[in-house]
Structure 1
């Protein structure tokens, strides 16, 4: 690990001319007495922020759009099209597509990522084995946390649970779920909690993914979280049903989720693309309402979910772009609101993933990025791209600012 002295840094609170010290991959208050040499990084007033955190992405099924045929753009079509494409996956195929996304994410400033990996008797361990390789090969630039989940169902798909258990015993650290894919969603949820307790792992569930407020399973998740004492270890993603609730009902549910410790991830690009397909006019936005949930005390995050597949045909792995999209659709514009959007891809995401060494203080891992922006709010408002990034104090990428190449001005007094 490099020994690094950072000078003339501007921090997120607006203050400038800061000096920070990095030794053995971590920020320190000062170099140890035996340190006699270091590199100096002069930021010349540029903005220094901790690395961004992707809390919910699917590397195993990224970049397959050219293998699929979109007609309806619905969730059911996306599941069916991906299931068909998945039949042709090989470990090397998953590895190469996942690497494409990881490299994009790294240069967009992401230093930590939780990726969901599908396990079922059809795909077996192909995706898991590929992502395990990616986890090792890209550790120099990004920390990859693996969440295994039963996209094709759990109770109704014999053999899936054994695969999940195998993965949790061989490198996966988080267990996911898709209750809407089983005939007994509550039984699906209950079984996942039993497995989470057995393996002492966090849970991250795809949940309540439509705009009908009826049939919500979030209450069962909250009940099981409280029953098993799993507060702060349970995340629910999508939950677009929450956007269909009246304010009083939403706020009451938000306070309950905060009390029992259920966290919420919004996935703007996917949720905007897939939901409200049955509406021609007055289409609802349909995103999980993070601002009121945050006001209730719920830990929230924004994330990418999918890139280049039937669930989301778009994406460049920029969390700043996702935060800007959410701010735009949710009509968030004040400095405080935009700064909060940045927190939902950084500090709040770190809290969600229970990262203890995140930040810029002494003792924190030296994962940081640099922007040419005057404030954290401006990063989101202007969709700023990071100029450089560091993992454990080692530089992982550089992105020089664009430069105009103006034509030379020819003086009229110059002889022809």
Structure 2
């Protein structure tokens, strides 16, 4: 091999096989993948390579993609009280705390979570940034700095987001517009917090069309099966030819609907090519508080929706705040939690869950997740042998690489026998 080799990954397992392969990375891309035999590596290659990493027979994968997270309001448990554990309380408490957010404060807290995510194998994420009169553009400017600071390890997409309504607070509309003019990648809304949910949806789509960006909505976050906003979202998506450019998160109403009603909603989503993100930690924590026994899970079964042709993903949503007072930004842990709650056990089902934090989520974010020759050398080494076991065991990420350069390492634990 005459090309200058940046990196050689040896003894890796890919594609859920037992076969070991070596990766050769040149100019930040996967140049060659070869079966790992002694004849594949010669002294000249070893001497010329900038780095050699022995995967030790562990699983090499694309890493994970966080399709729905809030970096701006992470790690504020010390500023919020949780007495009722409801969505209304979480919004109110966070709204109070937001008034005191500074750029430096948001940058510090968001950086903490981004570093958690990197060390857990996350290669890309979409963060919602609340853009309203309480924060103005302070959080947005901070997250832009976070995006730039960690670009060596992770790709960050910023969604300018109206959490606390829009039609009753037109200053929010102006701030969303400014964010889109200054580097936001897409726009998002929260119709269930607006006095006029339908108009809210239309206004968010108007902004998306004006700036030619995608849309992402927090939707139907309760356990009342009636008055879903899915029909309105689907209608606007098709009317504006936004198929494949709209996504929704939560949608816990679906979990409370009778089968026939749920299937009708799934058909609307499928026909409009609207992606859906399930947020197990938050959906479980905030819903069902008014039940004393047989407390409902309040989480959508994304595997059932996937059978209808809907692009489904799993994500963290919040980390250490009133919406979710725990979290470590591990998408493997979140996927494992989801699979447990959804009572999944078959390998085929678990394989679908793995797609929800890898290929499905990467596609939603329009990010690259291929592991083949010519693709960017972005991958993670997991302490396991295959994707299904990665979900079942919440496998430890051992190392990550972006464009052929190592971004993190977690030492493999060892047991010392006496």
Same fold per superposition (TM over 0.5)? yes
The separation in 2 between residues aligned to 1:209 and 1:250, in whole angstroms, is 15
1:6-405 to 2 correspondences below 5 Å: 6-29=9-32, 37-38=48-49, 39-355=51-367, 357-405=368-416
Could you tell me which runs of 5 or more consecutive residues in structure 2 were left unpaired when the two chains were aligned: 35-44
SS in 2 for 1:159: helix
Q: Supply the distance in 1 between the matched residues of 2:185 and 2:373 (Cα, whole angstroms).
A: 27
Contact 1:2 1:25 in 2 (8 A): no
**Alpha-carbon distance, 1:253 to partner:** 2.2
1:210-256 superposed Cα distances (whole Å, 9 cap, x missing partner): 01011100110001000011011111000000111222322232233
C-alpha distance in structure 2 between counterparts of 1:86 and 1:18, whole Å = 49
Per the TM alignment, residue 158 of structure 1 is displaced from its structure 2 partner at its CA by 2.2
| Residues matched between the structures, number | 403
CA distance in 1, matches of 2:236, 2:175: 23
TM-superposed deviation, 1:15: 4.1
Going from structure 1 to structure 2, the CA distance change for 1:2 and 1:59 (only over 3 Å counts) comes to farther
Secondary structure of the structure 2 residue equivalent to 1:48: strand
Larger deviation: 157-166 or 6-15?
6-15
Q: Is the 8 A contact 2:5 2:24 kept in 1?
A: no
Secondary structure of the 2:216 match is: strand
Report deviation, 1:7: 2.5
TM-score, scaled relative to structure 1: 0.94
- How far apart in 2 are the matches of 1:286 and 1:26? 42
Deviations 1:169-207 (A, max 9, x none): 111111110001111100000111111111110111000
Taking only aligned residues, the RMSD between alpha carbons, in angstroms, comes to 1.6
- Assess, with a 3 A threshold, how the Cα gap between structure 1 residues 125 and 361 changes in structure 2: closer, same or farther: same
